[in-house]
Chain A
Amino acid sequence: MLLLPNEIDLVRAEDNYVVEARFVRLSRTIAKTKIDGTWWQDLDAPTEMRKRENDNSWHWASRLGELRNSRWHEAFAIETLDGDIQGAILYWLNARSFVESEKGAVYVEALSTAPRNRSWLVSSPLYRGVGEGLLVRAAFHSYVVGLEGRVNLLSFRDERTISFYTKRGVESVGEEDGLEQMELSPTEAFRWLRDEGYDL
Chain B
Amino acid sequence: MTKMADFAPPAGGMRPPRNVRTDLDDLSAVRVKSELDLHIVRMLELHPKLKVRFRNYDLASLDHDTKTTLLNDINLVLGVKTLKKRDT
A interface residue numbers (CB < 8 A to B): 1-3, 5, 8-11, 13, 18, 53-55, 58, 63, 71-73, 87, 90, 92-96, 101, 104, 107-113, 117-120, 125, 128-135, 140, 143-147, 153-156, 158, 160-161, 164-165, 167-168, 176-177, 179, 192-193, 195-200
| Chain B residue total in the interface (Cβ 8 A) | 41
Among B13, B24, B82, B85: residue with most chain A CB under 10 A: B13
Q: Is the CB of A199 within 8 A of B83?
A: yes
Closest to A97 in B: B19
B20 on the A face (CB < 8 A): yes
| Contacts between chains A and B (CB distance < 8 A), count | 165
Q: Is the CB of B81 within 8 A of A63?
A: no
Q: Is the CB of B6 within 8 A of A132?
A: yes
B52 on the A face (CB < 8 A): no
Q: Is the CB of A132 within 8 A of B14?
A: no
Q: Is the CB of A132 within 8 A of B2?
A: yes
Residues of B contacting A55 in the complex (Cβ-Cβ under 8 angstroms): 10, 14
Given the known interface contacts A3-B35, A196-B1, the answer about A111 and B11 at a Cβ–Cβ threshold of 8 Å is: yes
Q: Is the CB of B10 within 8 A of A112?
A: yes
Q: Give Cα distance in the complex from A200 to B18, angstroms.
A: 33
Which of the residues A5, A54, A72 comes within 8 Å of B10, measured between beta carbons? Answer: A54
B21 on the A face (CB < 8 A): yes
Q: Is the CB of B24 within 8 A of A94?
A: yes
Which of the residues B10, B15, B16, B85 comes within 8 Å of A197, measured between beta carbons? Answer: B85
Given the known interface contacts A94-B46, A146-B80, A176-B18, the answer about A153 and B12 at a Cβ–Cβ threshold of 8 Å is: yes
Closest to B79 in A: A146
Given the known interface contacts A111-B11, A155-B11, the answer about A132 and B5 at a Cβ–Cβ threshold of 8 Å is: yes
Q: Is the CB of A125 within 8 A of B7?
A: yes
Q: Is the CB of A108 within 8 A of B12?
A: yes
Closest to A194 in B: B86
B62 on the A face (CB < 8 A): no
Q: Give Cα distance in the complex from A8 to B2, angstroms.
A: 11
Given the known interface contacts A1-B36, A146-B47, the answer about A198 and B14 at a Cβ–Cβ threshold of 8 Å is: no
Q: Is the CB of A111 within 8 A of B39?
A: no
Interface set, chain B 33-76, CB cutoff 8 A to A: 35-36, 39, 42-43, 46-47, 68, 71, 75
Q: Give Cα distance in the complex from A116 to B47, angstroms.
A: 41
Given the known interface contacts A2-B83, A143-B83, the answer about A118 and B9 at a Cβ–Cβ threshold of 8 Å is: yes
